[in-house]
Amino acid sequence: MRVLAIGATGQYAGLVVPALAARSVQVRAVVHDPAKQDQVLKAGADETVTGDLRDPASLRAALHGVEGVFLIIPAFAPDTPELGTGVIAAAQAAGVRRIVYSGVYHPSLSLVNHASTRPIEEGVYRSDLEFTVLQPAMYMQGLLGGWTSAVERGVFVMPYSKDSAMTFVDYRDVAEVAAIAFAADELVNGTFELAAGGMMTRTR
């Protein structure tokens, strides 16, 4: 299967490229900056394409000839619903067979970055695409900034209350699940919460 990997140069979605390659999935990586082409080719992509989710023409060109799409939207993008549903519509028009959408944990929450993903999930469910929806918890990789602050200043700072109970997931595991969803059929038409288990705050 040839898969278009959106977000291939990103801190998190970039982990999906080597996971796909390890399962012999052909990867066409979307890059915004041509200078980063070597980065994704070294990570295992077979080819790159310059694209922009806000440019329908470039999106159509990127989708031409692929069978699957890995979809992730940049966090807090102001037009998140439009970007996601636009990819879904373009994928259907291009004859794509399967989509794997990496969304958010508990999209039913009223938080803006959670609620904005609901139209995308609905678009996936209403499409005629084979789908796998991933709902990952907080990324463990996101703790790095707070950890650096803790080491340098003795204060573990994160953008939420120290008493908020959270569960986490390593995005490398999310990438592995995404790769499985393309390489095999067991996860087709399923929605999966991905978390390491347990809840913790910054104080306990």
Q: Give residue-wise pLDDT tens across range 32-91.
A: 888 999 999 999 999 999 999 999 999 999 999 999 999 999 888 999 999 999 999 999
Contact 124, 89 (CB under 8 A): no
Question: Does any domain span residue 157?
Answer: no
Contact 120, 176 (CB under 8 A): no
Q: What's residue 150's pLDDT?
A: 80
Question: Does any domain span residue 200?
Answer: no
d(CA 106, CA 83): 20
Task: Give the distance, in angstroms, between the CA of residue 20 and the centroid of all CA atoms in the same chain.
Answer: 13
Indicate the average pLDDT of the chain: 93
Q: What's residue 147's pLDDT?
A: 76
Residue with tokens 């999966």: 192
**Which CATH number characterizes residue 184's domain?**
3.40.50.720
**Domain total for the chain?**
1
d(CA 116, CA 108): 10
**Which of these, 182, 166, 199, 200, lies nearest to 69 by C-alpha position?**
182
Question: Does any domain span residue 147?
Answer: no
Q: Which domain holds residue 185?
A: 2-141+168-194
Q: How many CA atoms lie within 13 A of 198 on its CB side?
A: 4
Question: Does any domain span residue 159?
Answer: no
Question: Does any domain span residue 70?
Answer: yes
Calculated CA dihedral for residues 127, 8, 146, 78, nearest 10 degrees: -50
Task: For the chain, give the percent of residues with pLDDT over 70.
Answer: 100
